[in-house]
Amino acid sequence: MDDLTGKRLDLHPGSIAAAPGQPGRIVSADIVARTKEPTPENAMKIPETFERNETVRIEAFSDGIFAIAITLLVLGINVPKARELGAGGSLGSTLIKQWPHYLAFVTSFITIFANWVNHHRIFSFIQRTDHPFLYWNGLLLLFITFMPFPTALLAEYLMRPEANVVGAVFAGTYVAIAFAFKGLWHHASKNGRLLAQNVDDREIQQITMQYRFGPLMYLAAFALAFVSVGLSVVLCLSLAVFFAVKGWPTLRSAVLLIPLFPRRRKSEIPKS
């Protein structure tokens, strides 16, 4: 072993040679350097546990962002001040008048929760990560943290002439989230780049189909906002709930109940 290069040296009596990679350096009178080139078999492989720990860190960080965003929604609901009620004012009627704030809060809460379910669902298939995946996930979290703003905006202007503009901003945020989810999944699932090995192809196709048509449906909700804000909000909420509930593949339960017989992907099935 050469003390400077760290490469393997084989001894042959009566030979003189230079050290590998260092032509001007004579090793010894009886040494001939023979370097064993690195091969894929010799290359250090990243353990699966390390890869899984990396995805767990990303998911834990993302969970924190989702939790903060969903908590901030309640700040859009104001507590009526006693001095604002007046002498003959009624607290009950004042609370009822704030119904747009309650509607916006419930809508965004359900939406963020549904997005968290979809995010968790994606990570149940992912085993590895890379730098582009981190950026896609960061872009998604950017739009998630933005959700409290269009929510408060919708609650304030829902019954005003500017409602169509506010509805477009609200639905537009949903569109951005949908495209971020699409990019995140496309990067992870392309050629099985970041997916676990025992994932069924039918499940992958089902999620891919969801993210193929989801953004188009949210674009329809965005266009609908200029016609009817109420229908646009209802459509956004319905799509979020539908993709969160319908998205869970029914055959996942069978895989969980029978872990000893995991389904293999088509590429892994040996040809006869």
pLDDT band at 97 (very low <50, low <70, confident <90, very high): confident
Name the CA dihedral angle for 84, 90, 92, 94, rounded to a multiple of 10 degrees: -40
- Partnered with residue 18 across adjacent β-strands are 26
Instruction: Give the separation between CA 240 and CA 38, rounded to whole angstroms.
Output: 50
pLDDT in tens, 50-96: 456 678 889 999 999 999 999 999 888 888 887 777 666 688 888 88
pLDDT in tens, 209-223: 888 888 999 999 999
Domain contains 12: no
* Contact criterion met (CB below 8 Å) for 200 and 180: no
pLDDT at 70: 93
Task: State phi, psi for 208 to the nearest 5 degrees.
Answer: -60, -40
Domain of residue 125: give its range: 48-249
Instruction: Give the separation between CA 106 and CA 123, rounded to whole angstroms.
Output: 26
Query: Left if phi > 0, otherwise alpha if psi is -120 to 50, otherwise beta: which for 128?
Result: beta
Please tell me what DSSP assigns to residue 269: S
Domain contains 124: yes
Please tell me what DSSP assigns to residue 191: G
Q: Is-above-0.75 flag for pTM?
A: no
Mean pLDDT of the chain: 76
Any residues with CB less than 8 A from the CB of 263 and at least 6 apart, and which? 198, 199, 200, 255
Strand, coil or helix: 23: strand
Number of domains in the chain: 1
